[in-house]
Amino acid sequence: MAIIDLQNVTYKYPLTDAPALKSVNLQVHEGEFVAVIGPNGAGKSTLCYTIAGFVPHFFKGELTGSVEVAGSESSKSNLHEWVLNVGLAFQNPFNQISGAKYTVFEEIAFGLENIGVPREEMKSRVEDALKLTGISDLADRSPYSLSGGQQQRVALTSILVMHPKVLVLDEPTSQMDPIGTREVFGVIRKLSEQGMTVVMVEHKVEWIAEFADKVVALHDGSVLLEGNPQAVLTSDLLTDKGFGISRYTSAARKAKELGMWKKDKLPVTLDEAVEGFSLTPNPSPQRRGE
Amino acid sequence: MNIEISNLQFTYPSGVQALFGVSLNINAGEQVAIVGQNGAGKTTLVKHLNGLLQPTSGHVRIEDWDTKEHSVSKMAHRVGYVFQNPDEQLFSKNVGLEVAFGPKNLGYTSEQIQALVKDALGMTELSDKTETNPYDLSPTWRKMVAIASIIAMATPIVIFDEPTTGQDAANIARIANVVKVLRERGKTVITITHDIDFCAENFERVIAMSQGKILLDGKANDVLGQAETLATTFVDPPQLTRLGKRLGLEQTVRNQAEFLAALKK
């Protein structure tokens, strides 16, 4: 059974005319890692807010259709109950950090304090979470003294520490360095393998292809494509509609026109690109080991 | 206007040292990308260029002006700085006023201001949004407003702090175009970025920073090909550079044209 079940969801923010989501259907199974891609304005953040209950409980506005997450129906629930099951990391960590805490350690404990977790358990959960995201060395710093990417790790950690069943991430690596990004994708992959359900908005196609189980392409408030990462991320539809695609895909598409890419399928990952380009008679297919 | 940074050290009031002796020259008209891991000191470094931060020791000179001897408002005549987060920068009630604020404060005449605003809005594709409140725009367009408001100041040096963060393909292309137009006008452009493919496709010189120091500095192909050294500051080479290496191509490639040309050989 799906742990996230959106049926025919249409939503309008207050004081707006055009819906931000239009007849969206989305089913996500427990332990699945789903990546959501789309141009700016496609409704990606709104979809995150809907799964996390901020739409409509915080933003108000007009929602039709049904939203069911972890067995509760959004319209019959409230945000206090919702946060016990679903965690949302905001797109901009500046908007998420409480401003009420002097250290990273306390900031990460903030959510646990609010749900009344005993002190000793709280301490060990915060320490585990800091270790998981690799920021134990920042524990005593002020959240505001950190760089953008470090703040983003704090924002992510403060959600992970809550042990949500469903983790919703709105561009959680946008300010992170490249290898840090890959590490965070790896951590999230591991959590999903341990049973956490993940919905992650991202632009970084290469890592989506490596780590996600499924990709949902949103465009203009509707689901344009949905399926396995390889199929969705190499679709011609994406380039026509202004989605970002991997450099491997675009280089292979161009090479195909020039007769230098022999396979039917276009590559999304480095390994797929190496494999495909090695088939061309020129240059030598000799690989350097990695 | 040349930039000269000599033996720059900086420690934040909290006691955290962010820069450990950075020396660097950037010539007028150069296009430079700064890459490196979170907390490497990239933002701290560029905040010295317009005097927002003052060296703990060492010097920063913009041509004949030492930043220690001039106010931030004076430095603003020479160095424009687009913040990482547009929300830290925007405050006016509409886009037109926001973009006019900079040149107005630099003392341009109202005719000059009009021309500068028109040019900046055109370059950032905001011409149809002059009457809109910046906070009614999506974060993407707010970023373009932040960029336009600095472009309109017509400074010889323009700094972008992570311009492509959270932007979609169309907007990244818009920002790349802004960089191109500034290059054609002979401006110096310095960009901090984690988007290594954007860096590879739009910048000729790349500086990699690590733990408050300069790790690598040189032509883009030379720097971006050094996978092992870059990894020490958490940077991967661009996608096509990595692909070229794996395929055993002789030279380092960094964009599609170079990759396909090398593949044909």
Q: Which residue of A has its CA nearest to B88?
A: A94
Per-residue pLDDT tens digits for A8-49: 999 999 988 899 999 999 999 999 999 999 998 899 999 999
Q: Is A129 within the bounds of a domain?
A: no
Confidence of residue A90 (pLDDT cuts 50, 70, 90): confident
CB contact under 8 A, B166 and A174: yes
Using an 8 Å CB-CB cutoff, list chain A residues near B196.
178
Query: CA B172, CA A83: separation in Å to the nearest integer?
Result: 34
pLDDT at residue A79, rounded to an integer: 85
Using an 8 Å CB-CB cutoff, list chain B residues near A282.
263-265
pLDDT at residue A281, rounded to an integer: 56
Tokens of A19: 């819906």
Flag whether residue A241 sits within 8 Å of chain B, measured between CB atoms: no
Q: In what order do the strands lie in the sheet with A86-89?
A: A86-89, A166-170, A197-201, A33-37, A214-219, A222-227
Domain that holds residue A3: 1-85+166-175+199-229
pLDDT at residue A53, rounded to an integer: 93
Q: Is A52 within the bounds of a domain?
A: yes
CATH number at residue A70: 3.40.50.300
ipTM computed for the complex = 0.88
Q: Above pLDDT 70, what percent of chain A?
A: 96
CB B224 within 8 A of CB B206: yes
Q: Which residues of chain B have pLDDT under 50?
A: none
Q: Which of A171, A246, A283 comes nearest B239 by C-beta?
A: A246
Domains detected in chain B: 3-78+155-264 (3.40.50.300)
Q: Is A147 within the bounds of a domain?
A: no
Query: What is the three-class DSSP state of B107?
Result: coil
Residue A37 is given by DSSP the state: E
Judge whether residue A97 has pLDDT over 90. Answer: no
Q: Measured between CA atoms, how close is A247 to chain B, in angstroms? A: 6
Q: Phi/psi zone of residue A65: left (φ > 0), alpha (ψ -120 to 50 degrees), beta? A: left
Tokens 């505001």, residue located: A144
Query: How much is the mean pLDDT over chain A?
Result: 91
Per-residue pLDDT tens digits for A178-214: 888 988 999 999 999 999 999 999 999 999 999 999 9
Per-residue pLDDT tens digits for A213-251: 999 999 999 999 999 999 999 999 998 898 999 999 999
Query: CA B168, CA B196: separation in Å to the nearest integer?
Result: 15
How do the residues of chain A divide into helix, strand and coil, expressed in percent and rounded to 5?
40, 20, 40
Confidence of residue A91 (pLDDT cuts 50, 70, 90): confident
Q: Is A285 within the bounds of a domain?
A: no
Q: Is A171 within the bounds of a domain?
A: yes
- How many alpha carbons fall within 13 Å on the CB side of residue B206? 28
Judge whether residue A288 has pLDDT over 50. Answer: no
Q: Is A217 within the bounds of a domain?
A: yes
pTM: predicted TM-score of the whole model, two decimal places: 0.89
Per-residue pLDDT tens digits for A102-145: 899 999 999 999 999 999 999 999 999 999 999 999 999 999 88
Query: CA B147, CA B152: separation in Å to the nearest integer?
Result: 9
Flag whether residue A255 sits within 8 Å of chain B, measured between CB atoms: yes
Q: Is A159 within the bounds of a domain?
A: no
Task: Find, among A90, A98, A94, A89, the residue nearest to A129 by Cα.
Answer: A89
Largest CA distance in chain A: 65
Per the structure, the count of domains in chain A is: 1
Q: Is A76 within the bounds of a domain?
A: yes
Q: Measured between CA atoms, how close is B59 to chain A, in angstroms? A: 23
CB-based contacts of A17: which residues, under 8 Å, 6+ apart?
none
pLDDT at residue A280, rounded to an integer: 60
CB-based contacts of B45: which residues, under 8 Å, 6+ apart?
B5, B8, B19, B22, B34, B209
Confidence of residue A290 (pLDDT cuts 50, 70, 90): very low
Judge whether residue A283 has pLDDT over 70. Answer: no
Q: Which of B239, B246, B249 comes nearest A206 by C-beta?
A: B239
Q: Per DSSP, what are the bridge partners of residue B208? A: B35, B216
Q: Measured between CA atoms, how close is B62 to chain A, in angstroms? A: 25
